[in-house]
């Protein structure tokens, strides 16, 4: 029987629920639009609907996870569903951007195939639990030296006691060495994030550094940061278009990319300062405008392609 976990992250669940609701509204608007004209518009409409539904699946599972299993540690069929949605949603958005911003159909098709291959290549790695650090030289631990002035200003943080014990000192007055050893920080009490007692704690949500393909961190690195670089490049290309509507959507896409970079890159420091709950809440707050701009740009691309096809049809009718 499903039951809310004692460690449930309610604000994280609320953030995912609100984002899920936003994408349902876009689905409703797309359904209300009805049939569109022209092959380009139909392809864009199909990809956009798939993108919305993938985001709903990803955020809906995220909401349930934060409430029911906030320290998910064993990949099962439900986690597999989460990963499928998580790696296809950004790729589907990328496909829409390719079809909208690349005017040459051949170039657009190459972009769509590239995103499809990226997702289909990642999933077997996640299924077979490939650890990228065993394939290429990636750090399994990270060390950070905190200057004395920061140590003094952060002395009241709950984890300071475990950091002092790690360094063998008793007062927060000197530089400290902080070691991130790949443990699961969602499964570690915030006050003990540097304590050796929890060195073996593991989870799939907030391990760091973690290069396992089945972990959320690696998924976000590849299909959050990685694909966002590609989106920004595609939208930068579209910003030079002669079509004013395409330029407007490209500008929105570039702005959404900045918000997404801020959301993803702010997570590690915000988790250090406020814990996993704080880091995910901040990420949701920064990602919300990005996701809105992306969803709206997809809807705008469908509308623009539909209008162009109808204008072309009217000219032929005359």
Cα angle 292-18-112, degrees, rounded to a multiple of 5? 40
Residue 1 pLDDT greater than 60, yes or no = no
Residue 123 pLDDT greater than 90, yes or no = yes
Domains and CATH numbers, the chain: 10-130+216-258+282-317 (1.20.1070), 142-198 (no CATH)
Sequence-separated (6 or more) residues with CB below 8 Å from residue 261: 225, 228
pLDDT tens readout for residues 210-265 = 999 999 999 999 998 899 999 999 999 988 888 899 999 999 999 999 999 999 88
| pLDDT the model gives residue 28 | 97
Is the Cβ–Cβ distance between 104 and 173 less than 8 Å? no
pLDDT tens readout for residues 148-174 = 999 999 999 999 999 999 999 989 999
- How crowded is residue 39: how many other Cβ atoms within 10 Å of its Cβ? 11
pLDDT tens readout for residues 292-301 = 999 999 999 9
Is the Cβ–Cβ distance between 55 and 26 less than 8 Å? no
One-character DSSP codes across 11-75:
HHHHHHHHHHHHHHHHHHHHHHH----SHHHHHHHHHHHHHHHHHHHHHHHHHHHHHH-TT--S-
Distance CA 283, CA 270 (A): 9
- How crowded is residue 250: how many other Cβ atoms within 10 Å of its Cβ? 23
Distance CA 228, CA 241 (A): 20
Query: Phi and psi at residue 131, in whole multiples of 5°?
Result: -100, 115
Is the Cβ–Cβ distance between 131 and 211 less than 8 Å? yes
Which candidate, 102, 98, 107, places its Cα nearest to that of 227?
98
pLDDT level of residue 29 (50, 70, 90 thresholds): very high
pLDDT level of residue 313 (50, 70, 90 thresholds): confident
Distance CA 140, CA 134 (A): 10
pLDDT level of residue 317 (50, 70, 90 thresholds): low
Is the Cβ–Cβ distance between 191 and 164 less than 8 Å? no
Distance CA 313, CA 318 (A): 9
- How crowded is residue 152: how many other Cβ atoms within 10 Å of its Cβ? 12
Give the chain's length: 318
Surface-to-core class of residue 40, CB atoms within 10 Å of its CB (0-12 exposed, 13-18 middle, 19+ buried): buried
pLDDT tens readout for residues 11-28 = 999 999 999 999 999 999
pLDDT level of residue 318 (50, 70, 90 thresholds): low
Residue 72 pLDDT greater than 70, yes or no = yes
Our CA dihedral for 216, 217, 218, 219, rounded to 10 degrees, sits at: 40
pLDDT tens readout for residues 42-68 = 999 999 999 999 999 999 999 999 999
pLDDT tens readout for residues 99-120 = 999 989 999 999 999 999 999 9
Which candidate, 252, 260, 189, places its Cα nearest to that of 228?
260
Instruction: Quote the pTM value.
Output: 0.93
| pLDDT the model gives residue 254 | 92
């Amino acid at each position: 029987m499903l039951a809310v976990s004692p460690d449930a992250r309610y604000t994280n669940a609320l953030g995912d629920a609100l984002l899920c609701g936003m994408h349902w509204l876009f689905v409703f608007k797309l359904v209300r639009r009805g049939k569109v004209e022209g092959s380009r518009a139909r392809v864009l409409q199909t990809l956009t609907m798939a993108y919305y539904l993938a985001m709903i699946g990803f955020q809906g599972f995220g909401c349930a996870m934060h409430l029911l299993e906030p320290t998910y540690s064993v990949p099962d069929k439900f986690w597999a569903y989460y990963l499928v949605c998580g790696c296809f949603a950004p790729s589907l958005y990328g496909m829409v951007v390719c079809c909208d911003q690349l005017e040459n159909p051949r170039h657009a098709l190459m972009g769509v195939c590239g995103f499809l291959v990226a997702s289909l290549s990642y999933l077997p790695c996640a299924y077979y639990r490939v650890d990228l650090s065993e394939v290429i030289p990636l750090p399994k631990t990270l060390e950070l030296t905190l200057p004395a002035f920061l140590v003094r200003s952060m002395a009241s943080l709950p984890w300071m006691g475990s950091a002092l014990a790690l360094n063998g000192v008793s007062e927060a007055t000197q530089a400290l060495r902080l070691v991130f050893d790949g443990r699961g920080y969602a499964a570690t009490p915030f006050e003990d994030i540097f304590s050796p007692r929890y060195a073996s704690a593991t989870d799939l949500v907030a391990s760091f550094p973690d290069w396992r393909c089945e972990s959320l961190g690696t998924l976000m690195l590849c299909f959050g940061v990685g694909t966002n670089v590609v989106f920004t490049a595609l939208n930068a290309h579209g910003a030079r278009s002669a079509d004013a509507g395409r330029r407007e959507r490209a500008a929105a896409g570039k702005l959404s990319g900045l918000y997404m970079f801020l959301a993803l890159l702010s997570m590690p420091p915000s988790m250090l300062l406020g814990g996993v709950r704080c880091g995910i809440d901040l990420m949701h707050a920064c990602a919300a405008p990005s996701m809105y701009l992306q969803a709206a740009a997809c809807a705008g691309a469908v509308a623009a392609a539909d209008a162009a096809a109808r204008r072309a049809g009217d000219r032929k009718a005359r």
